[in-house]
Chain A
Amino acid sequence: MAENRLMQSTANTPYKAVVIGGSTGSLDVLLPVLSVLKPPLTFSLVVVVHRKNTPNSPLATLLSVKTTLPVREVDDKDVMKPGCVYLAPADYHLLVEHDGTFSLDDSEKINFSRPAIDVTFESAADVYGAGVVGILLSGANADGTRGLKAIKQAGGITVAQQPATAQVAYMPQQAIDNAAVDRVLDVPELIQFINQLNEANQAL
């Protein structure tokens, strides 16, 4: 059980990547979460949010003023380092490679979205297996459910925002109904959860 795994400091796979996906209403969660996470983080935090197609959008700026963690909008082949927040750029799907770099892909939209949360979740599951945690936030789209399934299958941990606390419940609810979600959390619980992951890694 993932639940047990998180509690045991004996778990031998460190968490490499925490991937957060969200759509409408997800900034209401991301901003408070990022502002209180305690650096240094022992994993990379990868953020995929649906947004308007404007390159160099103020989203990266918006996130970076809220957090002391370094925030980077990903360029192709950037190295994924622990401790950083990586933001999927507008109009590209974000994937991870086995050598620990990111790659980008401008192929067809998935679930009407580019970046699509499913693409990053699936790719992270493929590369990091049980070392991935997928978190799906508020949104009016079915994106992310498939990806959470892939993470679950690979042995990672899957989390959905408590739909009652989401501005738009549809997206996390889809995941809860259709994917095996390990945890359903509200914002304070989510913050606590991510800090716990960090402590679990540090205890390894």
Chain B
Amino acid sequence: MIEEEQVTLLLNDILELYGYDFTHYSRASLKRRINRLWAADRFPSFAELRYRVRSDAGYLKRFVEELTVNVTEMFRDPSFYKCLRTEVLPTLAAKPFIRIWHAGCSTGEEVFSMAILLQEAGLLHKSLLYATDLNPDVLESARKGIFALAPMPQYSENYQLSGGNRDFSLYYTANYGYVKFNDELAAKMVFSTHNLVSDHSFNEFDLILCRNVLIYFDKELQERVLRLFDESLGPLSYLALGSRETLKLSAIRLNYRQITPEKIWRKIG
């Protein structure tokens, strides 16, 4: 088991050598991730783990990537997507142009789900989906629009529960255990690295989704990131968080009204 001070040492090493600042991530989760790597890579001691991180650039890259959690799925929390369909998108339909930001999009399942909603609402042609993540490898994978075939039955079920009534498999072509989603869905996506810890606002959006990313941050960093979102949201735009994340501890909550029970807030102030 790694000690608290050892975690701090490693995080400082990563900041110094790699430029990523994890010092305001939730400690309990980070500690688990580090312990897991320590065990999986069979380091006999902390000193050896640290030496490898400091001296082997390839290992450092892998280590950093393994610290963050990339788990995601399509139409995760169907009732959330149903609310986007029925309450959010209709209010954006009159806009000449719709800008959406997926902050912490991981391998893109959330972005493709959104593109499907937009297409079904007849809005995709005038939308732009900015999909960003800290990790360039997950973005590379998202950009390809290729996903494993195995979870498709579950995604299809999620899709239907979200109010979708088409045959989900029409959205992709299956091949050797993988599926490729139709190019027209990806046509309006822009993928780019963006670090929520250190990068700034880069546009104004009608909807920002940042789901299951803030749970990995401590309260101070959460507040900084929520301010960044607040700066990037125009009047009457929306902010969507993960199903157990809230604005209730944040100063920005006063400018927003929640579309209960979903974790979607509309900017009113």
Contact = CB atoms under 8 A, between A and B. Distances in A.
A and B found bound together: yes
Interface of A: 55-56, 74-77, 89, 91-92, 95-98, 101, 103-108, 119, 122-123, 126-127
Given A105-B215, A107-B71, A75 B245 contact: yes
B225 to A, nearest CB: 13
Interface string B247-260: 01100000000000
Nearest to B216: A105
A103 B31 CA distance: 12
Given A105-B215, A105-B216, A55 B79 contact: yes
Interface in B69-124: 69, 71, 77, 79
Given A105-B215, A106-B212, 4 more contacts: A76-B246, A105-B28, A106-B215, A106-B242
Name A's interface SS. Answer: loop
Contact of B69 (A76, A89, A105): A105
A103 B26 contact: yes
Nearest to A91: B243
A109 B42 CA distance: 21
B32 A74 contact: no
B244 A105 contact: no
Contacts of A107: 29, 32-33, 69, 71
A125 to B, nearest CB: 10
Given A97-B26, A103-B26, A75 B31 contact: no
8 contacts: A55-B79, A92-B215, A92-B244, A95-B28, A95-B29, A104-B215, A106-B71, A123-B28
A106 B70 CA distance: 9
Interface of B: 1, 4, 26-29, 31-33, 69, 71, 77, 79, 212, 214-216, 219, 222, 242-246, 248-249, 261
Given A77-B249, A105-B32, A119-B32, A98 B27 contact: yes
Contacts of A127: 28
Contacts of B248: 75
Contact of A103 (B28, B33, B212, B243): B28
Contacts of A74: 244
B244 A108 contact: no
A97 B222 CA distance: 15
A95 B249 CA distance: 19
A77 B219 contact: yes
A76 B215 contact: yes
Nearest to B26: A103
